C-alpha cells in the first residue's frame, strides 16, 4: 500500500510542507486545475507540477481527476474531439511517469451533499446527506451547496445541460461509457497509465440523472466493458458504503483478486436513516463501516496500489475546502497506517 494525500495545488491552504510532516506520507494525489475541462493537458505543466511535489520529497504518481467532458457522457457528436484531447492528456501523463488516473462518469454533479458544514455532537463540522432535503431542492435554484469540484459547465449552462440529459437513461450512459473506454484504454495501456473509475457518490440517482457505478453488479459490468488491467477502479469505501447492501471488504477481495483496484479511498460514514448519512471520523467505532475489516481485506489481497485517507471533518477550528482540511485527514492517515502495521505484523 502506498499512502498518499490529496492536494489541490498552490491555492490549497493545506501546503505540501504540512503534508510532508504527516507520518508515513509518501505521495501526493493532485491535478492541473487551470485547464478547462475537455482540453488537453500540456506535458510541460504536468512536469512542472511533478517537480514541485518531488522537491518536497513526495511523489506524484496519481492524478485525481482528469474530468470527462459532459459531451462524452451525453454521447454527442462533439465527443470525439474531447476524447482525442483526453487521449493526448493520457499520453502526456504517461510520459511524465504518472501511473494512475482517477475519473468519474457521473452526469453533471460529482459527489453531492445536502450540507457541507453540518455540526456534529462534538462541535466539529462534517459533510452530510439527507435525501429528504435533496429531493426538495431544485438544482437550478442555486440553493444546492456544491463542494467545488471541477465542472465542465458554467452555472448559466446548467439548465441546458440538464435538459440534454432528459433523453439519457442508464443504458445510454453505459453505452457512452463503453464508447469512451474503447477509445482510451489502448492509449492507457501503451502509456502505462491505469484508469481508475470513481464510483457514483451517493450511489443512486439524484435529480433524475442516471448513475451507474453503484454496486458490485455494476463494477462487474464495468470491468467487462473493456477487459484490460488498465480499465480499473477507485474503490471508495465511503461512496459505496452508504448503501448497506454494499459489502466493502467483499468488493475489495473480489475486484482486488482480479487486479482491477488501482486506487483506494478510505473513509467512514455514519448511516443515520434511509438514504441519510454523516461523514464521521475514520475510526470503525465512529461510523457504520468497519475500517479494520476494510484494511484487512486490502492486506489479504496484498494490495500494493495507492491509497488515501478520504474526507475529514473540520476540527480544531480549521477552515478550508469542505472535506479536505489537514487535521482530520492526517489523523485518518495515521489510523490507517496503524491498522496496516498491525495487520502486516500479525501476518508474519
Residue 282 falls in the annotated catalytic set: no
Our CB check for ligand DNO shows the closer of 130 and 201 to be 201
Query: Which of these ranges, 35-43, 49-57, 102-110, 205-213, lies near ligand DNO under the rule CB under 6 A?
Result: 102-110
Which member of 14, 28, 102, 233 binds ligand DNO (CB under 6 A)?
A: 102
Mask 127-156, x = binds ligand DNO (CB under 6 A)? ----------------------x-------
Half-sphere exposure (Cβ direction) of 109: Cα atoms closer than 13 Å: 24
Q: CB atoms < 10 A from the CB of 224, how many?
A: 10
Give, to the nearest 10 degrees, the angle between helix 216-225 and helix 170-191: 50
Burial 71-105 (b: 16+ CB within 10 A, else e): bbbbbeeebeebbebbbbbbbbbbebebbbbbbbb
Q: Which of 12, 201, 262, 265 is catalytic?
A: 265
Cα 341 to the center of its chain, rounded Å? 25
Mask 306-325, x = binds ligand DNO (CB under 6 A)? -----x-----------x--
Q: Which of 71, 82, 198, 328 is catalytic?
A: 198
By CB under 6 A, residue 30 contacts ligand DNO: no
Do 238 and 269 meet the contact criterion of CB atoms below 8 Å apart?
A: yes
By CB under 6 A, residue 268 contacts ligand DNO: no
DSSP H helical ranges for 61-214: 70-74, 79-95, 131-135, 158-164, 170-191
Which member of 198, 211, 282, 313 binds ligand DNO (CB under 6 A)?
A: 198
Residue 236 falls in the annotated catalytic set: yes
CB of 6 to ligand DNO, least distance (A): 8
Our CB check for ligand DNO shows the closer of 70 and 110 to be 110
By CB under 6 A, residue 279 contacts ligand DNO: no
By CB under 6 A, residue 65 contacts ligand DNO: yes
Q: Which of 103, 129, 298, 324 is catalytic?
A: 324
Residue 230 falls in the annotated catalytic set: no
Do 100 and 193 meet the contact criterion of CB atoms below 8 Å apart?
A: yes
Our CB check for ligand DNO shows the closer of 225 and 342 to be 225
Q: What is the DSSP string of 208-262?
A: T------SHHHHHHHHHHS--TTEEEEEEHHHHHTSTT--HHHHHHHHHHTT-EE
Residue with cell string 499512502? 3
Q: What angle do CA 221, 85, 177 make, to 5 degrees?
A: 15
Q: Which of 310, 327, 328, 335 is catalytic?
A: 310
Q: Which of 82, 103, 311, 328 is catalytic?
A: 311
Which member of 1, 22, 25, 64 binds ligand DNO (CB under 6 A)?
A: 64
Among left, alpha and beta (phi > 0; psi -120 to 50; other), residue 293 is alpha
Distances (CA, A) of 129 to 125, 134, 206: 13, 8, 12
Our CB check for ligand DNO shows the closer of 200 and 348 to be 200
By CB under 6 A, residue 103 contacts ligand DNO: yes
The residue count for binding ligand DNO (CB under 6 A) is 12
Which residues are catalytic, by number? 198, 236, 265, 310-311, 324
Residues engaged in binding ligand DNO (CB under 6 A): 64-65, 102-104, 110-111, 149, 198, 265, 311, 323
Amino acid at each position: 500500500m502506498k499512502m498518499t494525500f490529496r492536494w489541490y495545488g498552490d491555492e490549497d491552504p493545506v501546503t505540501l510542507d504540512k503534508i510532508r510532516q504527516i507520518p508515513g506520507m509518501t505521495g501526493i494525489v493532485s491535478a492541473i486545475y487551470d485547464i478547462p475541462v475537455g482540453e488537453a493537458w500540456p506535458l510541460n505543466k504536468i512536469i512542472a507540477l511533478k517537480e514541485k511535489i518531488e522537491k518536497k520529497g513526495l511523489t506524484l504518481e496519481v492524478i485525481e481527476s482528469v474530468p470527462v467532458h459532459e459531451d462524452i457522457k451525453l454521447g454527442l457528436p462533439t465527443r470525439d474531439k474531447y476524447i482525442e484531447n483526453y487521449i493526448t492528456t493520457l499520453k502526456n501523463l504517461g510520459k511524465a511517469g504518472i501511473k494512475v488516473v482517477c475519473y468519474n462518469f457521473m452526469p453533471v454533479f460529482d459527489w453531492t451533499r445536502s450540507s457541507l458544514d453540518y455540526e456534529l455532537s462534538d462541535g466539529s463540522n462534517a459533510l452530510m446527506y439527507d435525501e429528504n432535503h435533496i429531493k426538495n431542492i431544485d438544482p437550478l435554484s442555486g440553493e444546492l451547496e456544491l463542494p467545488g469540484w471541477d465542472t465542465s459547465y458554467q452555472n448559466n449552462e446548467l439548465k441546458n445541460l440538464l435538459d440534454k440529459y432528459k433523453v439519457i437513461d442508464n443504458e445510454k450512459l453505459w453505452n457512452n461509457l463503453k464508447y469512451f473506454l474503447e477509445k482510451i484504454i489502448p492509449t492507457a495501456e501503451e502509456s502505462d497509465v491505469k484508469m481508475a473509475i470513481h464510483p457514483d457518490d451517493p450511489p443512486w440517482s439524484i435529480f433524475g440523472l442516471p448513475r451507474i457505478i453503484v454496486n458490485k453488479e455494476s463494477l462487474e459490468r464495468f470491468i467487462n466493458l473493456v477487459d484490460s488491467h488498465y480499465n480499473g477502479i477507485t474503490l471508495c469505501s465511503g461512496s459505496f458504503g452508504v448503501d448497506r447492501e454494499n459489502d466493502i471488504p467483499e468488493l475489495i477481495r473480489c475486484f482486488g483478486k482480479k487486479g482491477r483496484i488501482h486506487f483506494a479511498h478510505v473513509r467512514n460514514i455514519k448511516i443515520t436513516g434511509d438514504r441519510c448519512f454523516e461523514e464521521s471520523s475514520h475510526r470503525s467505532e465512529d461510523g457504520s463501516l468497519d475500517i479494520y475489516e476494510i484494511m484487512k481485506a486490502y492486506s489479504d489481497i496484498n494490495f500494493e496500489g495507492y491509497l488515501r485517507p478520504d474526507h475529514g471533518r473540520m476540527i480544531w477550528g480549521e477552515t478550508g475546502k469542505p472535506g479536505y482540511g489537514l487535521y482530520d485527514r492526517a489523523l485518518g492517515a495515521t489510523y490507517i497506517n496503524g491498522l496496516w502495521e498491525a495487520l502486516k505484523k500479525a501476518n508474519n
